[in-house]
Amino acid sequence: MRYENIREVPYPYKGMCAISSDAEYTSQEILDWLIAYLNTDEKTPLGYGVDLDFAASIFFFSDNPLHTSIYDSLEVDSKETPYANTLRDYIKYGYIDTNHAYGDFNIHHNFNRTHALKVYEMLSKHSLSLPIFTNHGNGEPKAMQHNIGFAPNHNGSNPDSIAYHTDLFSAGGGAFIWSDDWVIEKFPRISLAGNITSTQDGRQLGSSTILQKLFCGDGDYDFFTRYRSTGCIAPTFQTFNYQIQSIDWETFYNQSSVVIFYQHFGSFYVANAKNIPTTLELLKKFPFYLTGFKFLKEEQEKGNLLVLKTSKLLRYCKMYMSTKVESILKDNKLTLSIHNYETIEDMSFFDGLTIYVENYKNIALQCFYKDKPLKFIYNGLDARGKYSITLDSKQGEYYGMG
């Protein structure tokens, strides 16, 4: 009943998606290209960009020349790389929103809390924050000790471990965590409408949610799900088209669904246990592998699919799942009262919330969170034949007429 007058996704869209790409093998050249190609419509080395909304992840520490990073080794006393200022700018402007487990500690298992302290001191100095943490590792317990989750070797949220760091994560503006066992194969069994959908072969039922608050070690954290669909092999650039094609989009839209694609765009493919890094030369030679991005662009232009960076999508889902709207009509005035059990300071938290309203004529409409008026815009009829308003703190108005 809480959602009966709330549209699952912002008008006019039928579903939402994001791309969460881990930092492995992402060179600075490829990162620069990805950010320009996916976030602008400007001319790039691979043609005009698709003008979507994408944010990447970052390794802070790395001694692998194939990875871009802020620090030039895995040691705590590492020096900054020539790319450090560019990477900080990407964080500042929202083009990087994810800390991918601090760095590539697969071979040298020397991570400890001092690494995290150095990172968060640097971020604080530059007034930066990263809302997302994602796990990384090759499966060896020592290589994954600083991960967060529920396996015995996930000690990032264990105050008694030398790898403890989630207190720094939350104090530094962190909000969302992906743990390495939170993946979905085949059909993304996610629906903001509350429906239970089936996997692609129809034999299994699932009711996975894209976001779930759970107690982990030292506190409550928002864990989220990523869609892999590549079995036990981590997804690479060559699998992205397949990931998109594996979704039954008609059902996806009918269920008002949400998906976060799990990727490693820095790795083009894996052969004989060897990673082949993505290069501009490879993508120019095989432009077919860019068609997935073009599909997302076309679906967004059609008003079907809203593509957001992962942090924006997760914030929307958190807002949607925690919001209730009360509607009162009195004296030719329709008042919408927003209720939420989170602590809300910035009213932009509600941006995108779309509320169904009757097409009243000559009736004033206003919307409040507690005693604070909220800006909104009117929408036309959607695919359900209903009118709505969408909260928008930048372009909306405080009052409206039906």
HSE value, Cβ hemisphere, 13 Å, CA-based, for 225:
19
pLDDT at residue 270, rounded to an integer? 86
Backbone φ, ψ for residue 362 (5° rounding): 60, 35
- In the predicted model, what is the mean pLDDT of residues 372-383? 93
CA distance 127 to 125: 6
pLDDT tens-place string over residues 135-153: 998 888 888 999 999 998 9
Beta strands in 254-363 (DSSP E): 258-263, 267-271, 274-277, 305-307, 323-330, 333-340, 354-356
CA distance 199 to 222: 24
pLDDT at residue 202, rounded to an integer? 33
pLDDT tens-place string over residues 38-67: 999 999 999 999 999 999 999 999 999 999
pLDDT at residue 272, rounded to an integer? 75
Structure tokens at 345: 């300071």
For the chain, the average pLDDT equals 90
| Res. 205: pLDDT tops 50 | no
Q: Is 282 or 140 the better-scoring residue by pLDDT?
A: 282
pLDDT tens-place string over residues 60-95: 999 999 999 999 999 999 999 999 999 999 999 999
HSE value, Cβ hemisphere, 13 Å, CA-based, for 130:
32
CA distance 220 to 164: 15
| Res. 292: pLDDT tops 70 | yes
Beta strands in 232-299 (DSSP E): 258-263, 267-271, 274-277
Which of 334, 327, 395 is closest to 366 using CA atoms?
334
CA distance 179 to 170: 16
| Helices and strands, number each (H, E), in the chain | 9, 27
Paired residues of 129 in beta bridges: none
Paired residues of 274 in beta bridges: 271
pLDDT at residue 2, rounded to an integer? 62
* Beta strand pairing call for 205-206 and 197-198: antiparallel
pLDDT at residue 345, rounded to an integer? 85
Angle at 216 between CA 213 and CA 217, to 5 degrees: 155
The answer, yes or no, to whether the previous bond of 82 is cis (omega within 30 of 0) is: no
CA distance 115 to 264: 24
| Res. 208: pLDDT tops 90 | no
Per-residue confidence band for 193, with pLDDT thresholds at 50, 70 and 90: low
CA dihedral 128, 131, 137, 142 (to 10 degrees): 80
Give Cα 147 distance to the centre of its chain. 18
pLDDT tens-place string over residues 336-367: 999 998 888 899 999 999 999 987 777 889 99
Q: Is 343 or 5 the better-scoring residue by pLDDT?
A: 5
| Res. 389: pLDDT tops 60 | yes
Q: Which amino acid is at 192?
A: L
| Res. 197: pLDDT tops 70 | no
Structure tokens at 391: 């909260």
